[in-house]
């Protein structure tokens, strides 16, 4: 793998990840860009003990441009984009409209009981391919390995930034999910706090260890593999299953068979085995109703400085589509109370996904 670091016209970092050692990425960004925005605000909600990012500058971010105006395609004659090179394999760059950044700003008090501080951290965009009309499910195993190398590289570097507490790699796919750019891409958030979901699961994992002496995530994986009824697919190093208490109509978790706190802990064989299984699961989702399935794919990794002995790196994938012509909206119970109601039996979801022919 060749790693090439450069800068965009406004000073943001851009990194090319190439399989070829002779890839030439010495192409400057010829655009004239406005100054980068200051960091967002973080406001503390004393009722839920959560931090909320207030990022007003994101209101002006690019929204569903045409393919001819896509900022994630390679640059070409008369068309300058976020990627200066005329081609690329995998690219990572700092988000132009970040929810968190290292830039400073002036922040006052919100009033009431809410503490305010800068939204320090970093947000990056990961372009999986230069092909605008492609998708992650159609990537070759070699390209998926390169994407994983980029995730691993960025997790390590972002974790080393002072003040960063958690690194989150994810992909949003589909207009129904709320994407703003259709080009195949994901994002990476470097949070200045441990996220609410991670705090909850690590607290549960700690209680489980006190009761049983075991690792909660490892025990969940072992139980699902033994039961088998919700397993969608598996290989030597990974298992994909629908969780017994799935919140979403079609939800699949992918676990490596060996516990590691983050992606950097995976061995080469484990990294190589991920792509074929994951793209198979994605093709099953697309084949379920014969339409491109909208989804969120979320890597759960250990925080930077806490809970690493409890964590178990894994991917959680879910879709809001519950039928060919129906979506699962987060209505009153889910949005207001955080109490999920799932319309699809998890065992039936797993059975349907297993029945999809992918080759």
- Measured distance CA(170)–CA(114) in Å, rounded: 29
Place of tokens 């970093």: 122
Question: Given 185, 237, 253, 314, which residue is catalytic?
Answer: 185
3-state secondary structure 211-230: HHCCCHHHHHHHHHHHHCCC
73 is in an annotated binding site: yes
H helices within 160-297, ranges in order? 196-212, 216-227, 268-289
Q: In what order do the strands lie in the sheet with 50-54?
A: 50-54, 41-45, 116-118
237 carries an active-site annotation: no
Q: Residue 52 — left, alpha, or beta (φ > 0 → left; ψ -120 to 50 → alpha)?
A: beta
Q: What whole-number distance in Å separates Cα of residue 148 and Cα of residue 153?
A: 8
123 is in an annotated binding site: no
Backbone angles phi, psi at 150, to 5 degrees: -65, -45
Q: Is 253 assigned a ligand-binding role in the annotation?
A: no
The radius of gyration of the chain's CA atoms, rounded to the nearest angstrom, is 21
Neighbours of 80 (CB within 10 A): 15
| 127 annotated to a ligand binding site | no
Q: Give the residue numbers marked as catalytic.
A: 185
Residue ranges for the known binding site for Zn(2+) are 70, 73, 132, 183
């Amino acid at each position: 793998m060749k790693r090439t670091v450069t800068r965009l016209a406004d000073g943001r970092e851009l990194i090319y990840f190439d399989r070829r050692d002779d890839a030439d990425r010495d192409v400057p960004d010829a655009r004239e860009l406005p100054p980068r925005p200051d960091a967002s605000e973080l406001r503390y909600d004393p009722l839920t003990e959560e931090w909320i990012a207030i990022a007003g500058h994101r209101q002006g971010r690019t929204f569903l441009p045409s393919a001819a105006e896509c900022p994630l395609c390679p640059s070409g004659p008369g068309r300058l984009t976020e990627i200066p090179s005329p081609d690329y394999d995998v690219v990572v760059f700092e988000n132009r409209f970040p929810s968190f950044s290292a830039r400073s700003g002036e922040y006052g008090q919100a009033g009431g009981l809410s503490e305010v501080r800068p939204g320090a951290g970093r947000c990056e965009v990961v372009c999986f391919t230069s092909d605008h009309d492609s998708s992650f499910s159609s990537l070759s195993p070699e390209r998926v390995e390169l994407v994983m190398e980029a995730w691993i590289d960025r997790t390590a570097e972002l974790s080393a930034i002072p003040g960063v507490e958690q690194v989150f790699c994810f992909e949003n796919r589909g207009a129904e999910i709320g994407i703003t750019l259709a080009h195949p891409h994901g994002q990476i958030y470097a949070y200045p706090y441990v996220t609410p979901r991670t705090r909850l699961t690590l607290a549960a994992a700690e209680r489980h260890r006190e009761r049983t002496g075991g690792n909660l995530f490892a025990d969940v994986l072992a139980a699902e593999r033994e039961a088998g009824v919700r397993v969608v697919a598996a290989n030597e190093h990974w298992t994909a299953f629908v969780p017994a208490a799935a919140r979403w109509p079609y939800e699949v978790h992918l676990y490596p068979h060996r516990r590691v706190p983050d992606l950097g802990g995976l061995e080469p064989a484990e990294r190589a085995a991920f792509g074929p299984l994951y793209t198979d699961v994605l093709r099953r989702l697309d084949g379920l109703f014969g339409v491109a399935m909208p989804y969120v794919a979320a890597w759960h990794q250990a925080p930077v400085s806490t809970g690493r002995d409890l964590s178990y790196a894994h991917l959680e994938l879910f879709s809001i589509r519950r039928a060919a012509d129906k979506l699962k909206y987060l209505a009153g119970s889910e949005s207001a109370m955080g109490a999920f109601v799932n319309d699809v039996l998890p065992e039936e979801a797993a059975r349907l996904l297993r029945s999809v022919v992918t080759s």
